[in-house]
Structure 1
Amino acid sequence: MTFDRLFALIQYSLPHHLISRLVGYLARCRTPWLKNLLIKAFIRRFKVDMSQAKQPDHSAYPCFNDFFTRALRDDARPLGEGLISPVDGLLSRFGRIERDSLIQAKGRNYSLTTLLGGDEERARPFHDGNFATIYLSPRDYHRVHMPLEGRLRETIYVPGRLFSVNLATADHVPGLFARNERLVCLFDTAHGPMAMVLVGAMIVAAIETVWAGQITPLPGSPQTTRFDEPVVLPKGAEMGRFKLGSTVILCLPKGIDFKDSLDANDSMVSMGQSLGIVSP
């Protein structure tokens, strides 16, 4: 048995939510010596580049969460043309949505309908469209931005497990992204509907959005919120953030295609980097 498979199997028996809540409590701690110790150790362990941060002094952050969700300098992420990456991270998979099926890893597919909360009609506009899965590692910038201008139509909070979402787990846990806790955000754009799915993971203490603040953790039943009052976010605007990192899955309709020059799967991308061509 490989180490990766063993790592995945061990997670089935772990108390995912309890571990995540305890880590969240520690990440909110404002005791100066403790939060500074945590931040310094994290920067050293993951080689975090603080030169791009709007506040490069690690001791100026009131708690670990504030450091982890730190803002970048205004010039750190210029916006490219067309569809842009919503986050910094590893583009682990991208390509065509085959009817209702997305690729999780080599030899593993999962259901788009399940990912979006179980409603077939909600998933139908994305059939035969495109998707991208971007994994945010601990060292990455953890705010999530709009890949296109969009009007928020609906959010669906879907409870679930909190498996780690790194590549090792994606290779060995079936339906990983469709079984983890997640927030589905549905937008209307000038080019059709767009879904952004913020996937929770082990030690992800919370997901926040700019329109509602902290979303998770919530009670253990799906919750749908519709937005009759317009929430319109321009391309490149912040839409949310992870308090400890995870994965964003972007679902797009036909007519928004990835650039031919985009590197193969498992390539690094930056927020604002041009990913796709938008049909007029």
Structure 2
Amino acid sequence: MTVRGALMRVLLQEDVNFLLTNRLPRRFATNLVGRFSRIEQPLVSKASIRVWRIFSDLDLSDAATTRFRSMHDCFTRRLKPGARTIDARPEILASPCDAIVGAIGRVLGDEVHQIKGMPYSLAELLGDAADAVPFTGGTFITLRLTAAMYHHFHAPADLTVERVRYLSGDCWNVNPIALRRVERLFCRNERAVVNCRMHDGGAPFLLVAVAAILVAGIRLTFLDTDRLLREGGDRTVPLSADMAKGEEMGWFEHGSTIVMFLPEGFAPADGISEGSPIRQGEALARRL
């Protein structure tokens, strides 16, 4: 067995993984890694990325460049032009990001689940019970961005962003091990609720960007990308920002999660199932 294989075998043991990624001062560790990742010293950045590759399946073959000033520069890398193909069919909502598909299901009353047997309240997640009402009986799809993935997210349809609500919170890991152990995890973590309306038919939908441990930053292109979203504190920002399908909406500073909520009349696209990988632009949901 290789050294990498032996290390990964240890780290993937549930108790060890949970201890190392959650039972530590999460915000302190997040801020520390955030500062370290921005060090623009060639030896530091190259060594950091090399270590990162040992513990992940980092693939830079589709990156616009493989020369990075810092580990943070690699985290937030852009892709080569044409690296992703956007499904242009009007009835299809494209995946906003590269991800592993997590929990999928119907919104039953106010209840959704982060993983089987671990429900949470949609109203609590959104910070407003009234915002949950349009999605009762609708569909939710959870998308987990791993640390090695492309971290930008894009418009799944031609849309208007009508509002963003930022809710401060913790920075628990969002991997399946933590989701099985921490109740209402998404409701505890820092998150941004992005209210959107499709141009074709006017249906509302939500993208909820949930930050996670380590860098844990969210930036939105239609707001101020010079500052992390959390720097302005809890707030609701009304907007009227039109975006074309596939246009960049923002990025995470590290791996995290997006939960999409759709009203009745939509369903997951063919082939979408829990645990399956998906790339930004591929068919994620469809209008019935």
Identity of aligned residues (%): 30
* Matching residue within 86, 93, 103 for 2:103: 93
* Matching residue within 48, 55, 61 for 1:45: 55
* Matching residue within 185, 200, 225 for 2:237: 225
In the TM superposition, 1:96-245 aligns within 5 A as 96-117=106-127, 119-190=128-199, 191-211=202-222, 212-213=224-225, 214-218=227-231, 222-227=234-239, 230-245=240-255
2:234 aligned partner, one-letter code: P
Deviation at 1:115, TM superposition (A): 0.8
Distance in 2 between residues matched to 1:12 and 1:73, nearest whole Å = 34
Distance in 2 between residues matched to 1:177 and 1:188, nearest whole Å = 23
2:121 aligned partner, one-letter code: S
Distance in 2 between residues matched to 1:215 and 1:253, nearest whole Å = 30
Distance in 1 between residues matched to 2:20 and 2:83, nearest whole Å = 39
Change (3 A) 1:64 1:12: closer
2:56 aligned partner, one-letter code: F
Q: What does residue 74 of structure 1 align with?
A: 81
Stretches of structure 1 lacking an aligned partner (at least 5 in a row): none
Whether the aligned pair in 1 keeps the contact of 2:220 and 2:229 (CA below 8 Å) is no
The CA deviation string for residues 35-63 of structure 1, in whole angstroms up to 9 with x for no partner, is: 121123323432322111111x2xx2222
SS at match of 2:55: helix
Greater shift in the superposed pair: 234-243 or 30-39 = 30-39
SS at match of 1:231: strand
After superposing on structure 2, the runs of 4+ consecutive aligned residues of structure 1 that deviate more than 6 Å are 9-12
> TM-score scaled to structure 1, two decimals?
0.90
Whether the aligned pair in 1 keeps the contact of 2:95 and 2:279 (CA below 8 Å) is yes
Q: What does residue 83 of structure 1 align with?
A: 93
Change (3 A) 1:225 1:12: same
Whether the aligned pair in 2 keeps the contact of 1:8 and 1:173 (CA below 8 Å) is no
Stretches of structure 2 lacking an aligned partner (at least 5 in a row): 1-11
Deviation at 1:242, TM superposition (A): 0.7
Q: What does residue 6 of structure 2 align with?
A: none
1:26 and 2:36 aligned: yes
> TM-score scaled to structure 2, two decimals?
0.87
Aligned CA RMSD, in angstroms, stands at 2.0
Distance in 2 between residues matched to 1:148 and 1:9, nearest whole Å = 39
Q: What does residue 273 of structure 1 align with?
A: 282
Q: Number of residues paired by the alignment?
A: 270
Change (3 A) 1:217 1:20: farther
Distance in 1 between residues matched to 2:70 and 2:18, nearest whole Å = 31
1:225 aligned partner, one-letter code: V
In the TM superposition, 1:5-24 aligns within 5 A as 7-8=17-18, 14-24=24-34
The CA deviation string for residues 36-91 of structure 1, in whole angstroms up to 9 with x for no partner, is: 21123323432322111111x2xx22222121111112221101231111111110
Deviation at 1:276, TM superposition (A): 1.7
